[in-house]
Amino acid sequence: MCQTAESFLLPAVYGDTLAISKMKFTVSLVAKSSARLGSLSEFARIPEAAFETPLLLLHTRGASVPHLSYDLLQMVSTENHILQMPLVTLVDHTRNVKAFGKGIAEFAGLKEYLNYVSVQDPSTITPEGYHEKNSISLWTRGGRKLINPETYMSCIEDLKPDMFQAIVDGDTTSVSSVKRVRRSVDDTIKFTGACADLKEKSEILKDTPMLASITGGYNIKERLRCIAELKGLGVAGYVMDGFHTNGESATNLSWEDMEPVLTETLSSLPENLPRAFHGPVTPIVLLKLVSKGIDIFDATFPWLVAERGGALVFPNSLPKSNAPVIETLPCVKTPSSIAPSENDGTTDKKPNKEEFVDRVYEINLKDKLFFDDRRPLVEDCSCYCCRKYSRSYVHHLSATSELQGPILLMMYFAPRVFLRVVTLTFYFLLNRHNLHHYINFFRTIHLAIREDELQALQTKLEEFVSCRRK
C-alpha cells in the first residue's frame, strides 16, 4: 500500500531553500518501504522541464554520452533527461568553455538537456590514498590535478551547469581506518562550507542548486556528524558518498554491510530534499536503494557493461501473472570476493580480472558461444540494435576488430578507418541497447512504486540471478 506525501505531513512543495536555488523538489507518493515518487522542476535555464524521480542521470565523458552523438541519443530516447558531467573529464577544458561564454550545455551542443556536474567520474575507479590538506585529487588524462574549493568553484563558474555537487573527500570504503573516515568527514565539511560561501558571492552560481555530500564511510557516528555540520548551508539536496571508490568497486558493494549505515543516515536527512547515489551499482542493489528513499542515480552501470562487451538481459518489466522466470541463457560464475590486487603470493598465477567481474545481468558478446546465435540481444526489445541485428552479428563486430587489428594498424588511411568504424559500431550498438534497457528499467520502477509492486520486481530479479548462477 502506498500513501501520498501529504499523509506523511510533507508539503507538496518544499521550503525557501529550494526556491532560492531555482529548483523545486516535490514528493508525490511515499510507499511503505520508503520508496518515493517525486519530481524535480523549475530549473532556471529550462523552467518548463520536469523530471520524475527516481531519476536516471545520463552518464557523459567529456560532455558527450559515450559512443552516441546527439542524433543517436535522440533515437535512444526522446524524453527529457539530465546529463551527468563529471568534472574530472572536463577540468582540462574549462578555459575553452569559459572563452566560449555560454556554458557547457551549448558548448557541447546539448542545450536541450539540463546538466549536473559531479566531482569524480562514477564509472572509473578513483585511486585511493592521495590526500592533501586543502585539496582533493582529480585523475585526468594528463595526470593528477590538485583541486581546492576556490579552483573547483572557478571551474563550475566556467561550466555554468544547471546543478552541481560540492567538492568532497569521498575516499573511503568498508575497510577504511577510523582516522581516514574522520579525515574525509572533516574535509567534506570544510570543503562544502567553502563552496557554499563562494556560491553565495558568485553572480553566476548564486541561483544554481548545489548538492552536498554525506561522507563517513561505514561509520554511522561519523555520517551523523557530517549531516549535523552541513545543516544550515542551504543546499538543494544530498549525495550519499564514501561507500565505494567508483567503477567496479560500486558493483561489488555488500548490501548487508551498507544497509544499516544507509538506513540511519537517510533517517537523519530532511525528507524535503532529494538524495542521490552515484556509481554503477547492480540492478538489485539499485532497487534496494530505491526502497530506502534514494531519488537520483546515474547510468554508469549500462556503460560499464557495454565497455566490457556485455549486453544487458536482466528482466526490466513487472512480472506477469506470477509466471516463473524461465531462463535459457548461459550460466555465469559467482565472482571472487578477493580483489585482483590481493594475490597472497602463494601461486605464480596472476589473478584474472574476469574472475572479479559479475556478469550475471548481461551476456558477453565477445564469447564464441554467440558465433551463430541469430536471436536479438533480448527478445521483444524495441531498441535499434535488437530490431536490426542478431547476437551473432554483434559478436562478429567484436571478433573482426580483434583479429584484424594487428594487421590493419600497420596499414594506412582506409584500413585504419575501417578498423575504427568496426570497433565503434560494436560499442555503439551495445551502449545503445544497454541505455535503452536501463531507461525502460526506470520506467518500470516508477510503475512498481505507484502500484506497490517494487518487492515483486526485486523478487523477479533475484530469481533471474539465481537461475544464472553456477
Q: Give the type of residue at 327.
A: E
Query: ∠ at Cα 114 (113, 118), nearest 5°?
Result: 125
**59 labeled part of a ligand binding site:** no
Using CA atoms, how far apart are residues 209 and 14, in angstroms rounded to an integer?
A: 14
List CB contacts of 424: < 8 A, sequence separation 6 or more: 67
Q: Is 298 helix (H, G, I), strand (E, B) or coil?
A: strand
**383 labeled part of a ligand binding site:** yes
List CB contacts of 386: < 8 A, sequence separation 6 or more: 376, 377, 378, 433
**331 labeled part of a ligand binding site:** no
Which of these, 204, 265, 266, 275, lies nearest to 235 by C-alpha position?
A: 275
List CB contacts of 407: < 8 A, sequence separation 6 or more: none
Q: Give the type of residue at 453.
A: E
Report CA 259 to chain centroid distance, whole Å: 19
Per DSSP, the residues of 309-362 read TEEE-S--S--STTPPP---SPPBPPPPSS-GGG--SS-SSPPPGGGG---TTE
**386 labeled part of a ligand binding site:** yes
Detail the residues annotated as belonging to a binding site for Zn(2+): 381, 383, 386, 433
Detail the residues annotated as belonging to a binding site: 381, 383, 386, 433
